[in-house]
Amino acid sequence: MPKKILLDIDPGVIDALALCASVFDSAVELVAITSVGGNVSASISARNMQAIIEFLDPPRLPRIGMGVQSDAELSFDMSHLNGEGGLCGALLPVAELRMQHPAEKVICDAIRSDPENVMIICLGPLTNVARAFTRDPELPDLIRHIYISGGVISSCGNITPCAEFNIYADPIAAKTVLDSACTKTIVPLDVTDSLIFTLDDFDKLAGNDNKAGQFYRAMLLPAFRAYRQFYGMEGIYINDLITYIAATRPEYIETEELPCDIETTGTITRGVTVFDKRHNPKWKKNIEAVTTLKDSELIIPDIVSLLNSTATKIGQS
What is the reported pLDDT for 315? 59
CATH superfamily of 3-315: Ribonucleoside hydrolase-like (3.90.245.10)
pLDDT of residue 228: 96
**pLDDT of amino acid 17:** 98
Task: Return the pLDDT at 141.
Answer: 97
Strand 287-293 relative to strand 260-262, pairing? unpaired
**pLDDT score recorded for residue 100:** 81
Q: How far is CA 71 from CA 68, 126, 150, 173, 292, in A?
A: 9, 12, 19, 9, 34
Residue 78 confidence (pLDDT): 81
Q: Which residues contact 310 (CB under 8 A, 6 or more apart)?
A: 20, 21, 23, 24, 56, 212
Q: Are 104 and 112 in contact (CB under 8 A)?
A: no
Walk along the chain (317 residues) in steps of 10 and give the mean pLDDT of each run.
96 97 97 94 93 94 88 70 89 77 97 98 97 98 98 94 95 97 97 97 95 96 96 96 98 97 92 94 95 97 98 77
H or E segment to which residue 128 belongs: helix 127-135
Helix then strand then coil, in percent of the chain rounded to 5, is: 40, 20, 40
Burial 287-315 (b: 16+ CB within 10 A, else e): bbbbeebeeeeebbebbbebbbbbbebbe
